[in-house]
C-alpha cells in the first residue's frame, strides 16, 4: 500500500468495471473516508455507518456498469449511492422503531430541528456548513438532503406551499455552494 | 431565462446533490448536452463538493477495509454484467415463476429404476472386475509353477536317459571297460583316483565314467587322452558337473592306453599337466 498509484478517472472506471481488486482497494483508500463521513452525517451511528459503507462498496461493485460519465463525476455518483443507502437504512430503522411505539408516523408534523439533527455529527461536512444557514433554510436542507424527503412531503410536513419549499431549498443550495468555496 | 440565470438558479447544486425531481433532471441533462457553460458549472460544483467531502472525511475503523475488500473479492462477477439501465434506487426484481411441464408418473418410475439399475450395474462391474483380477493373478501363478515343473521334468528326463544310457553301456557285451587308477600313473597327485573308460568295440565310441577324481581348482580341467603308438591323442574334456555317469567322449579307433591329466580349462593339444590315472586297454 506504500506505492501511491494514481489513475485518471476514466482508467479507474474501466478497471472497476473489470472488477479489478486493486482498483477497488485504490477506491477504498482514496474515497472510503469521504463516503464514511457522508453516511455518518445521515445515520449518525458508527456501527450502522460501517454496515452502510460496506453496502455502498458492494453497490458500487454491482452497479459500476450503470455509472454514466456524461452525467457527472465518479465521486458524485458514489456520493449519491452513499446518501441513498444511508437514507434507506435510516428509514428502515425508524420504520422498525415506529412499529414499537407508533410515534413517527402519527407525530410526523411535530418534527423539530432538534429531533432531526443528531448530536455530534453537526461539526462535519455539509452539516457544518449548514450551521451557517438561517434556521428556516437549514431545516429544509435537513429534510431534503439528510432525510431524503421529496419537496411535496416537506411542503406537507412544514405546512408550506410547494413553490415556497422549492424556492427556499434552491436559495439555501446557492448559499451552501458559496460557503463550500 | 438565459443560461447564466439558469446556472445560478440552484439547479446545478440541486441536480448534483440528488435533490432535483425527474423533470428537472432530464431538463438539466439536456442543458448540459447543449450548453458548455452549464456543463462547466456542474463540473465546478462537483469538484468543490468532492474536495469539501475529502477535506471533511472521517476515517472508518481500520478493520473495515479488509472486511469490505474481502467481501468484494467474494462477489460473483459474471452475473453482474447484465444489469438494468440506470435506476436511481435499487428496485426489487420479481423473479418470474416458470412452471415446468409435469413429468408422467411412469417416466419418473422408469427414471428411478434406470438409476437403480445403473448403480447396481456399477456395483457388479466392480465386483466382477475384482474377481477377474484375482483369477488372472492366480492363473499367472499357476502358469509360472507349470513352467518350473516342466523344466524340472525335462532335467529329470535328461538325467534318466543318461542313466539309462550308462546302464545300457555297462550291460552291453560289446563294451570294453578299461579301469584307470592312480596307482598305474607314474606320479599321480592322488593315488586313490579312479576312472573307467568304456570303449565300444564296434563303433569305437569312447565313454568315460569318473569313479573318483579330486575336484579340480578353478581354471583347470581334466582331459582324457588315448595313447596311440606312444603318442597321446586328445579324447575330450571332462566336465565334472555330470557326476558318476557315462559321458560320451571322442571316437577313438585305436589305442593302447588311456590316461587323464589335469590341464588348463579348455584343454591342451598335448598333455602338459600331471597325470592322475592311467589304464591299459
Residue B153 cell numbers, joined? 521334468
Is residue A86 scored above 90 in pLDDT? Answer: yes
Q: Is B154 a member of any domain? A: no
Q: Say yes or no for a CB contact (<8 Å) between A125 and B56.
A: yes
Tell me the pLDDT of chain B averaged across its residues.
Answer: 85
Q: Is B179 a member of any domain? A: yes
Q: Is B257 a member of any domain? A: yes
Q: Which domains are seen in chain A, by residue range?
A: 9-100 (1.10.1740.10), 107-180 (1.10.10.10)
Q: Is B121 a member of any domain? A: no
Is residue B155 scored above 70 in pLDDT? Answer: yes
Task: Single out the residue in B25, B55, B85 at which a domain terminates.
Answer: B55
Closest CB to A37: pick one of B57, B87, B88. Answer: B57
Residue A87 cell numbers, joined? 437514507
Q: How confident is the model at residue A117 (pLDDT cuts 50, 70, 90)?
A: very low
Given a contact cutoff of 8 angstroms between Cβ atoms, the answer to whether B163 and B245 are in contact is yes
Residue in chain B nearest A144 by alpha carbon: B19
Higher pLDDT, B131 or B169: B131
- Residue-level pLDDT at B213: 87
Task: Single out the residue in B55, B70, B92 at which a domain terminates.
Answer: B55
Is residue A121 scored above 80 in pLDDT? Answer: no
Q: How close, in Å, is residue B97 to chain A by CA atoms? A: 24
* DSSP states of B110-156: HHHHHHHHHHHHHHHHHHHHHHHHHHHHHHHHHHHHHHHHHHHHHHH
Residue A152 cell numbers, joined? 411535496
Residue B266 cell numbers, joined? 579348455
Closest CB to B69: pick one of A25, A150, A170. Answer: A25
Give A176's contacts in chain B (Cβ within 8 Å): 13
The string of pLDDT tens digits covering residues A134-177 is: 888 889 999 999 999 999 999 999 999 999 999 999 999 999 88
Task: Single out the residue in B12, B39, B55 at which a domain terminates.
Answer: B55
Q: Is B132 a member of any domain? A: no
Q: Is B213 a member of any domain? A: yes
Q: Is B272 a member of any domain? A: yes
- Residue-level pLDDT at B101: 59
Given a contact cutoff of 8 angstroms between Cβ atoms, the answer to whether B220 and B262 are in contact is yes
Half-sphere exposure at residue B69, Cβ-oriented, CA atoms within 13 angstroms: 16
The string of pLDDT tens digits covering residues A49-62 is: 999 999 999 999 99
Give A91's contacts in chain B (Cβ within 8 Å): none
B263-268's contacts with Cβ under 8 Å and 24+ in sequence apart are: B263/B220, B263/B221, B263/B222, B263/B223, B264/B219, B264/B220, B264/B221, B265/B219, B265/B220, B265/B221, B266/B221, B266/B237, B267/B221, B267/B223, B267/B234, B267/B237, B268/B223
The string of pLDDT tens digits covering residues B27-82 is: 999 999 999 999 999 999 999 999 999 988 889 999 999 999 998 888 876 544 44
Domain range spanning residue B232? 175-280
Residue B76 cell numbers, joined? 460473483
* B71 CB neighbour count, 10 Å cutoff: 14
Is residue B258 scored above 50 in pLDDT? Answer: yes
Measured distance CA(A24)–CA(B68) in Å, rounded: 10
Q: Is B184 a member of any domain? A: yes
- Which B positions 9-38 lie with beta carbon below 8 A of chain A? 9-14, 16-19, 21, 29, 32-33
- Residue-level pLDDT at A98: 55
Q: What is the mean predicted confidence (pLDDT) over B213-217? A: 86
The string of pLDDT tens digits covering residues A13-59 is: 999 999 999 999 999 999 999 999 999 999 888 889 999 999 999 99
What is the tally of structural domains in chain B?
2
Higher pLDDT, A151 or B241: A151
Measured distance CA(A63)–CA(B79) in Å, rounded: 11
- Residue-level pLDDT at B95: 53
Give B69's contacts in chain A (Cβ within 8 Å): 21, 24-25, 28
Residue in chain A nearest B22 by alpha carbon: A150
Amino acid at each position: 500500500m506504500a506505492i501511491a498509484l494514481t489513475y485518471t478517472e476514466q482508467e479507474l472506471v474501466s478497471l472497476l468495471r473489470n472488477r479489478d481488486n486493486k482498483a477497488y482497494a485504490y477506491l477504498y483508500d482514496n474515497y472510503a473516508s469521504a463516503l464514511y463521513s457522508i453516511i455518518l452525517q445521515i445515520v449518525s451511528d458508527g456501527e450502522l455507518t460501517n454496515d452502510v459503507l460496506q453496502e455502498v462498496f458492494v453497490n458500487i461493485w454491482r452497479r459500476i456498469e450503470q455509472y454514466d460519465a456524461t452525467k457527472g463525476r465518479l465521486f458524485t455518483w458514489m456520493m449519491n449511492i452513499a446518501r441513498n443507502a444511508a437514507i434507506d437504512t435510516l428509514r428502515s430503522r425508524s420504520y422498525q422503531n415506529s412499529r414499537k411505539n407508533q410515534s413517527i408516523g402519527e407525530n410526523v408534523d411535530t418534527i423539530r430541528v432538534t429531533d432531526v439533527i443528531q448530536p455530534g455529527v453537526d461539526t462535519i461536512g455539509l452539516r457544518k456548513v449548514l450551521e451557517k444557514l438561517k434556521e428556516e433554510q437549514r431545516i429544509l436542507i435537513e429534510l431534503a438532503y439528510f432525510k431524503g424527503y421529496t419537496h411535496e412531503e416537506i411542503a406537507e410536513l412544514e405546512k408550506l406551499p410547494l413553490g415556497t419549499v422549492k424556492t427556499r431549498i434552491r436559495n439555501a443550495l446557492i448559499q451552501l455552494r458559496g460557503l463550500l468555496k | 431565462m438565459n443560461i447564466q440565470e439558469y446556472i445560478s438558479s440552484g439547479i446545478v447544486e440541486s441536480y448534483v446533490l440528488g435533490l432535483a425531481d425527474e423533470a428537472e433532471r432530464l431538463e438539466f441533462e439536456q442543458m448540459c448536452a447543449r450548453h458548455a457553460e452549464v456543463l462547466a458549472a456542474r463540473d465546478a460544483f462537483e469538484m468543490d463538493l468532492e474536495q469539501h467531502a475529502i477535506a471533511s472525511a472521517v476515517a472508518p475503523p481500520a478493520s473495515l477495509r479488509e472486511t469490505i475488500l474481502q467481501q468484494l473479492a467474494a462477489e460473483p462477477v459474471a452475473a453482474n454484467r447484465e444489469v438494468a439501465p440506470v435506476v436511481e434506487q435499487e428496485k426489487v426484481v420479481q423473479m418470474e415463476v416458470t412452471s415446468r411441464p409435469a413429468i408422467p408418473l411412469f417416466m419418473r418410475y422408469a427414471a428411478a429404476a434406470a438409476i437403480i439399475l445403473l448403480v447396481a450395474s456399477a456395483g457388479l462391474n466392480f465386483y466382477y472386475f475384482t474377481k477377474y483380477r484375482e483369477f488372472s493373478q492366480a492363473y499367472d501363478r499357476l502358469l509360472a509353477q507349470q513352467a518350473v515343473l516342466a523344466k524340472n521334468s525335462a532335467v529329470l528326463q535328461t538325467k534318466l536317459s543318461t542313466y539309462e544310457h550308462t546302464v545300457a553301456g555297462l550291460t552291453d557285451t560289446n563294451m570294453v571297460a578299461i579301469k584307470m587308477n592312480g596307482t598305474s600313473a607314474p606320479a599321480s597327485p592322488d593315488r586313490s583316483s579312479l576312472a573307467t573308460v568304456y570303449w565300444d568295440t564296434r563303433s569305437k565310441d569312447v565313454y568315460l565314467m569318473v569313479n573318483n577324481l579330486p575336484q579340480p581348482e578353478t581354471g583347470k580341467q581334466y582331459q582324457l587322452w588315448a595313447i596311440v603308438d606312444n603318442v597321446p591323442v586328445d579324447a575330450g574334456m571332462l566336465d565334472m558337473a555330470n557326476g558318476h555317469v557315462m559321458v560320451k567322449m571322442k571316437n577313438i579307433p585305436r589305442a593302447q592306453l588311456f590316461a587323464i591329466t589335469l590341464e588348463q580349462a579348455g584343454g591342451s593339444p598335448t598333455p602338459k599337466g600331471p597325470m592322475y590315472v592311467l589304464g591299459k586297454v
